[in-house]
Structure formats: C-alpha cells, structure tokens
Amino acid sequence: MLDNAAPVDVILYQYPRFEPVPMPRPLALALALAGLSATAATLAGTATPPAPQDAKPVKELDAVDVSAALDQARNALSPDTGSSQYVIDREAIARMPLGDSTPLNQVLLQAPGVVQDSYGGVHVRGDHANLQYRIDGVIIPESISGFGQTLDARTIRSVKLLDGALPAQYGLRTAAVVDIATRDGHALGNGGSAGVTGGSFGTLNPNASLWGSADRWSWFLTANYLENDVGIENPTASRKPDHDHTNQVKAFGKLSYLIDNDTRLSLLFGMANNRFEIPNRPGQTPAFQYLDQTDFDSSRLNERQHEQTRFGALSLQGKLGATDYQVSLGQRYSSLDFTPDPIGDLMFNGIAGAISRSSRASTLQADFATPLGDTHTLRYGFYGSFESAPSRTDAQVFPADGEGRQTSTVPIGIVDRNRLIARTGSAYVQDEWSLGDRLTLNYGLRGDVYSAFRHESQLSTRLGAVYQATDSTTLHAGYARYFTPPATEAITTTAIHKFDGTTNALPDNGSNTPLAERSDYFDAGVQQQLGPLTLGLDAYYRKVRRLQDEGQFGAALVYSTFNYAEGHIRGVEFTANYAAGPISTYFNLAYGRAMGRRVITGQYNFAPEELAYIADHDIHLDHDQKLTSSGGISYALDAATRIGANYLFGSGMRRDGGVPNGASLPYYFQLDLSLSHDFSFAATGKLHTQLALINALDRSYELRDGSGVGVGAPQYGPRRGVYLSVQKDF
C-alpha cells in the first residue's frame, strides 16, 4: 500500500523537454470507446516548450518512479486523522474463496461493522446505505438503488473503508467512505490476464484485463461477463429459485499521461449493464380478479429489471510549488427499468406498473494540500454536482371504492411523469497540526448546500486526534457534525392523488419529500500492535435529527427515502489481524443498535396503526443487527498451494413482532472454503486455479422474512455451491 510505502526520491528539473509521444493502440481504442478523440489526446504529448539557452541537460526521472511519487502526493490529499479505517489489499482479496471474482459488497464484508443485506446491499454502522465511493480520490456518485454491482474487484489495488468521525474533506455520504486505489499500468508493466469462473447454479463468469505503459502513457482495462440462475436472493427456502436468471456485463478503464514530472492527466471510465429476472414465490393467492380470470400461478410470473450505469472522470493531478492538487470533472449516468407481469401483477398487487428511473449527475471536484512549516498541513477544496433525475410510471390499476375493494375487473391506465433537479455545493478547509512526535490534531470546517424540492444547508465542524501512546499503541478520537441530503435517485416523486379511487390508492397524510439528515458523531478507539498480531477496539455514538431510512414500498425492487424525526445509533467494534509466515487470519466482532422515532416524511408508505405506534416509541431500524462477525484464515502449504476458510455470522435483522420491527430474525452462520494452486508449465508458464465451496454446511437462513418497515419480500442467503476459477496472466 502506498500509504506505508518507502519514500520515493523526487528530483526536480528545470524546463524539461518533451518529444512527441505516439499513442499506443490499446489507448487509442479505449479512448474511442470512451467517446474521446485519439488525436486530441495525442496532442497533449506533442507540445515542446522552448528551452532557454542556459538550460542544463537533465536526465528524465523514470516514468514508474514519477507515477509512484504522484500516487503518494494524491494520498496526501486525503487524510484520515481521527477516523476509523480498515484496509483490504489485493492479497486479502485473492485469499477470499472466489478471489478476484468476489463481488465488491462481499469484499466489504471483511471489514468490522458491515452487515450484509439482500440485493447486494450492505449497512455500515446502522445506516441503510449512505456510502461514498471514491476511485483514486475522485467521488463517483452512487447509482440508482438496485441489485447490480457496478465496480469490479479486479480493478482494486487496495480498498480503504473509512468511517467514524471523518475529516472535513468528507461529506454528504458519511456512513462510510469506500476509497478505492486502482491498479496501474506503470506499476504492473506490460501484460494482461484472462480467465473464467464457473460452477453451481449455471454460473459462467469469463474475464479479461489488459495493462501496460509506453513512456509517459499507462493504461489498465478490464471487463467481465456474468450469468447465473441466482441473480437475486431466493425468496423461498428452496435450493434453486424460480425465474431468477441474470446477465451482467461490467467494464472499467484507467488511462494516464504524465505531462511532466509533477503533473498527470488521468481518465477513469466504467460501465455496467445488468439484467435480472425477479424470482417468484409459488403458492400465492391472487387478491384481485382480472376480467373473467380468477386464478394465476404465481410461479409463472414474469417480472424483469434492467439496470445500467456509466461513469467517467477526467482528472488533473500534480504540484504547484509546495501545494499538491487534484481537479476532476466527472459524469455518472444511471437508469433502472422495471417490467411487470401485466396480468399477474394486477391480480396479486392491484397494480402493474412499468417503472423507469434515470439519473445523470455532472460533478466538479478540487482538492488541495499545502504544508505550512514543519507542523501544519492546510487542506481545502470544493465539490459541486448537478443532477437531473426523470422518472415515469405507466401503471394499470383497477377502480376501487373508499375501502380499497375492487369495483371493476377491467383495468384502467395511469401515467405519472416527473423530473427532479438537484444541485449540491460543498467547500471545506482543515488543518493537520503535529504537536510533537506523538500527537496529531485535525480540525476543520465544512459547508454544504443542497437544493431540490427545497433549499437546505449546514456549516459543520470536525475535530480529530491521534495519539501515539507508545511505539505499539495508538489512540484516536473524533467528533463530526454531518449533513446528509437524501439520495436523489431514492426520492419518490409519484403524484399520489392520481391513484385516488384505485387499488393503488395511497394515504396523503403527511410530507412526501424527504429531508436532509443532520447528526452529531462521536468516535474513539485504540489499536495495539503485538508483533505480527494487531488488535483494535472502537466505540461510536451518533445522535441524529431527521434520520433517513429507505424501504421497498412497491412491486418494483427500488428503494424510497423517508425520515424519522430523531434517531440514536451506537456500537462497539473489535478487530484482530495476524500475519506471520504461511498463516494469515482476521477476525471482526461488532455490536450495534440503531433506533428511530416518529415518521415525519413519506408517511403514505405506512399503515395508520404503524404511524401511531412509531410516533410515541423508539423502534429498531429494519436493518439493525445486534451482533455481526466475520473472519477468515489462510494457510500457504507451499509457494504454489494455499487453503483457506472464511465465515459470516449475524444475529439477524429486524422483522415485525407485535410492533413494527419488534423482533429479529434467527442467527445465521455461513462457512466458505477454498483451495488454490498454481500450475507451472514449461511452454505456457503459470496457470492459477482456485476452487471455492460457498456455504459449505448448506445452512438455509433468512436475510429478510418479508415483514418489517419497508421490507418488500423474503430473501434467503445462498445455498451450497461449488465454483472453479482458472486464470492465466500473460
């Protein structure tokens, strides 16, 4: 990891000369796919500034060293003083049962306090979602909620999960920052990789990557295709779900050009195109009649969902005098299309709605770091985004009386169109102050402004401290005031009155527009190094006003945001990591409690009796899980063979039990095993193979049982599966 890498000597030169650099063909192809002109990009390397007569000949610093030095400079832009962090590198990902085929959400489950949910979702420290994704320091706005994983583990050099009391640089999405450092062609050299993972439930996952460098250019490109018959969690306890096939295509690219020894231009781009069948629950009884039809086999429903995400960011990173900087211009497009079963959905739900949502976010981000003497580093910057989010619902419903009873078997059509425009602006300033060799303070101020249906803003203070008590003991503590606007893609803009007098009538009994969340966050922890063993203990408490939560309230598997008036979230996390010789292990155990009271927005999603109870009582949030644990062990039998085991444990998320979210689901435990071996062939070199046994004990467990606030359907964890990966580097 570059954070801990040995210092790189950077030699400064005067007036370096540049010769025209032809663009490598892989770069030209990649830029064409990204919609950029290869000619324009090549021009960046053809400028030859005149050298003055007294300029001395200099020797150019090697491009690999320049790239590494710039990586270190970029790391200096993103401090984590006072916050909690957990780093997962490529070696840790490779030791997971599925290796590089592991979905990103399962990679994050190696970190403490991360709770798994259905549809590939995770919860960190009691938040529903609220994750901020950064790729090489660039914020990538979250896509529309759904099942698809946009980012692929094959792009990751290391991923850092930051949570707790974050410095002023981090805002808006603050449950945790998923900070991804990508692989780099300058560091990897010229080459590539191709392979395939296949196994149970019709799984087929071929992949290919290409990386390399040519003088000042470098590139890393990867793509993969996935299909299987368990695209979404099974809603029943059966081994194989009905109607659950998925096809997914993902790609990522990173192109870099070294303008000079202090400046780099980079282009990040990626895409995901994912199609899902919505799994069925056999044996359901229709609630409505369609024309003369009174019966429908629920195992033959044909609902589908299609999700797309595309993103790109152009970044200029470098050094002006003593100041490190990175300025990025980016855009993210995301869409979701739900296709109902036109007859079946009407008979079971009273509505068959074809739902389309999309979101296009354009962003501008700038971060700066300036040393002030030997003891201070001033960091400052800004972020702005403009987002347009149109939505359309083409619904078929039945006429109904005031009690919701069907009055006609002939459906009627309702079209609902909306467009939401959201603007966000942020600025921050913070100072990292080193008081001697052992104590470091980081204090700062952040301002955020959000405008959509309403205008909201907040000025937030941040304070963090790290104290090196001994050479092996580190203490940290922090306070942060947070401002979290609602996720634009999760704001429901349905015109409720259009469905009056139908089987989809909703009560208009409150505010339908979510509010920005405001909270005070306190965090403290200690880390102890005992030779190859590292122990950590962290405690946190968050007092929240206008607590945001999300739920699935309709037939489509998309989320909508609502607010509780207040909330209280607290927890304790313990971590242990050991690495020595052939053995590597990790262990996490977390206790958490997340409570909310009084629903103040989105009340139409709730029954009147639910609202009445929540108005006077604290209730558990639906994703609250009291105990969470993960761990793993990996042992190298020799230089070519490794065995491993990983597990997940949870006390169960919430379900209804007398009162909303009043009970928890049963405890669950999942054990995964793996065996990897590198075969060496004289003619073709090394071939990597990895065998994974997922849920080796074949324990059937529920993530959701279909009850609870905002829970749409039951979901079960994966059943036992066997998968083989074969990978060849070249």
* Model confidence pLDDT, tens digit, residues 440-471: 999 999 999 999 888 999 999 999 999 999 99
Q: CA torsion angle for 163, 164, 168, 170 (degrees, to 10)?
A: 20
The domain locations on the chain are: 2-16+58-729
* Model confidence pLDDT, tens digit, residues 146-178: 555 788 899 999 999 999 999 999 999 999 999
Are 111 and 122 in contact by the 8 Å Cβ rule? The answer is no
C-alpha to C-alpha distance for 608 and 612, rounded to whole angstroms: 6
Binning the chain into helix, strand and coil, the percentages to the nearest 5 are 10, 55, 35
Higher pLDDT, residue 262 or 23: 262
Least confident of 23-32, 512-521, 635-644, 673-682: 23-32
Alpha carbons within 13 A on the beta-carbon side of 546: 16
| pLDDT computed for residue 76 by the predictor | 67
Whether 53 shows a pLDDT value over 90: the answer reads no
Please say whether the dihedral angle defined by the alpha carbons of residues 556, 515, 601 and 620, taken in this order, is positive or negative.
positive
Whether 21 shows a pLDDT value over 50: the answer reads no
* Model confidence pLDDT, tens digit, residues 378-401: 999 999 999 999 989 899 999 999
Are 172 and 178 in contact by the 8 Å Cβ rule? The answer is no
Alpha carbons within 13 A on the beta-carbon side of 512: 12
Are 667 and 82 in contact by the 8 Å Cβ rule? The answer is no
Please say whether the dihedral angle defined by the alpha carbons of residues 610, 616, 622 and 627, taken in this order, is positive or negative.
negative
Give the β-pairing of 176-182 and 131-135: parallel
| pLDDT computed for residue 60 by the predictor | 43
Q: Is 626 helix (H, G, I), strand (E, B) or coil?
A: coil
| pLDDT computed for residue 716 by the predictor | 93
Quickly count: other Cβ atoms within 10 Å of residue 523's Cβ.
23
Mean pLDDT of 703-721: 88
C-alpha to C-alpha distance for 340 and 673, rounded to whole angstroms: 38
Q: What is the percent of the chain where pLDDT is above 90?
A: 70
Average pLDDT, whole number, for the chain? 86
Whether 238 shows a pLDDT value over 70: the answer reads yes
C-alpha to C-alpha distance for 274 and 225, rounded to whole angstroms: 10
| pLDDT band at 18; cut points 50, 70, 90 | very low
| pLDDT computed for residue 635 by the predictor | 96
| pLDDT computed for residue 329 by the predictor | 97
C-alpha to C-alpha distance for 202 and 212, rounded to whole angstroms: 34
Q: Is 173 helix (H, G, I), strand (E, B) or coil?
A: coil
Whether 34 shows a pLDDT value over 50: the answer reads no
Mean pLDDT of 345-370: 94
Higher pLDDT, residue 553 or 233: 233
Residue 14 burial (C-beta neighbours within 10 Å; 0-12, 13-18, 19+): exposed
C-alpha to C-alpha distance for 266 and 268, rounded to whole angstroms: 7
Tokens describing residue 299? 């195992």
CATH class, 2-16+58-729 region? mainly beta
Are 430 and 440 in contact by the 8 Å Cβ rule? The answer is no
Are 652 and 625 in contact by the 8 Å Cβ rule? The answer is yes
| pLDDT computed for residue 259 by the predictor | 93
| pLDDT computed for residue 62 by the predictor | 63
Closest CA to 137 of 76, 64, 65: 76
